[in-house]
């Protein structure tokens, strides 16, 4: 099983398809729902007293281990954002950290032996604390965002040196390295220490740099996007969830993981928040995978 440490939140999302207020979100949430299609992920996070118990129960019903989710006095982390009509821009309208402001991840003893630890989008200082608590024998994969690149670059660089792999989007890769050419950006990030660099390119697919070789995948085409929020986190969940069942993490398993990440995230964008993931089954993923194979085969 994999372990994920990150945010659990309420989101208010507005886009061309409408507005949804205070729906369940957060990087760990998307990751866990996606990974649960392949394994039984363990989650470490914090919520407030206002977080619905039925969601925690539902996560448990899906095989997600929620023992590491703490409930603190106060309100759950809240984010509100609005997308441009073509989804090319996202504007944050409100961010209320609430109980997440003082989040100090505590890893339960029986969580410390998991094969893969996914460090979701939290401050690099917190990611380092997780690494210190779980030990160096784990396989660490991390995510990050432009905020940490801007305000915690030094700490972020230290964390990147400590992990086996990093998942990052194209804009963040360019910002981190100062490179406009993604292939060169991937090489520079890998030179910091990780075994692999996986760059998400949104509607243009994803790219892997591993063992001095590149592997590029197109997206699964969707004519209509309802909500792209959490697509990257669910990509990570599908990717890591698949990897967790592989005997070895090598070029082949990483490539297959990317395919599953691509397929799972293509479902996420079909509805607001985690709604599509809540109904998604492994059978749905495998059926779409067959279509995807036909598309990219030549």
Q: Residue 174: which residues within 8 A CB-CB, separation 6 or more?
A: 180, 182, 185
Instruction: Indicate the burial class of 178 (C-beta count within 10 angstroms; 0-12, 13-18, 19 or more).
Output: exposed
Look at residue 135 in the predicted model and tell me its pLDDT: 80
Q: Which helix (H) or strand (E) holds 66?
A: strand 65-72
Which CATH number do you get for residue 269? 3.40.1190.20
Look at residue 136 in the predicted model and tell me its pLDDT: 74
Q: Characterize the bridge pairing of strands 2-5 and 9-15.
A: unpaired
Look at residue 95 in the predicted model and tell me its pLDDT: 94
Rounded Cα distance between 115 and 125, Å, is: 22
CA dihedral 203, 204, 208, 213 (to 10 degrees): 170
Which string of b and e fits 198-220 if b means at least 16 CB within 10 Å?
bbbbbeeebbbbbeeeeeebebb
Overall number of domains in the chain: 1
Scanning the chain, the segments in alpha helix (DSSP H) are: 27-35, 53-61, 124-134, 146-151, 153-162, 170-177, 182-190, 231-243, 251-268, 275-279, 282-296
Rounded Cα distance between 157 and 80, Å, is: 29
Rounded Cα distance between 249 and 247, Å, is: 7
Which one, of 27, 54, 61, 19, lies nearest residue 43 by Cα? Answer: 27
* Residue 78 structural domain: 2-296
Residue 76 structure tokens? 């759950």
Contact 3, 111 (CB under 8 A): yes
Which one, of 21, 26, 30, lies nearest residue 8 by Cα? Answer: 26
| pTM score | 0.96
pLDDT, mean of each 10-residue run, the chain (298 residues):
96 98 97 98 98 96 97 97 95 96 94 94 95 90 93 95 96 95 97 97 95 97 95 98 96 98 98 98 98 93
Look at residue 67 in the predicted model and tell me its pLDDT: 96
């Amino acid at each position: 099983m994999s372990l994920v440490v990150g945010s659990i939140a309420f989101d208010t999302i507005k886009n061309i398809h409408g507005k949804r207020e205070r729906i369940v979100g957060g990087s760990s949430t998307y990751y866990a729902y996606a990974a649960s299609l392949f394994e039984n992920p363990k989650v470490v996070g914090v919520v407030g007293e206002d977080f619905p118990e039925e969601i925690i129960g539902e996560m448990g019903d899906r095989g997600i281990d929620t023992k590491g989710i703490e409930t603190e006095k106060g309100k759950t982390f809240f984010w509100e954002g609005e997308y441009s009509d073509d989804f090319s821009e996202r504007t944050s309208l409100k961010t209320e950290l609430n109980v997440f402001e003082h989040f100090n991840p505590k890893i339960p003893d029986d969580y410390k032996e998991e094969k893969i630890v996914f460090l979701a989008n939290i401050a690099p200082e917190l990611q380092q604390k997780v690494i210190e608590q779980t030990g160096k024998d784990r396989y660490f994969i991390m995510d990050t965002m432009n905020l940490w690149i801007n305000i915690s670059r030094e700490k972020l660089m230290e964390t990147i040196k400590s992990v086996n792999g990093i998942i990052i989007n194209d804009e963040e890769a360019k910002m981190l390295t100062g490179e406009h050419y993604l292939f060169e950006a991937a090489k520079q990030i890998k030179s910091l220490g990780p075994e692999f660099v996986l760059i998400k390119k949104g509607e243009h697919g994803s790219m892997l740099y591993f063992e001095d070789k590149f592997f590029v995948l197109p997206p699964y085409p969707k004519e209509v996007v309802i909500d792209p929020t959490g697509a990257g986190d669910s990509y990570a969940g599908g990717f890591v969830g698949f990897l967790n069942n592989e005997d070895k993490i090598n070029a082949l398993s990483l490539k297959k993981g990317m395919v599953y990440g691509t397929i799972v995230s293509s479902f996420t964008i079909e509805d607001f928040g985690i709604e599509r993931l809540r109904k998604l089954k492994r059978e749905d993923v495998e059926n779409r995978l067959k279509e995807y194979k036909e598309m990219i085969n030549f």
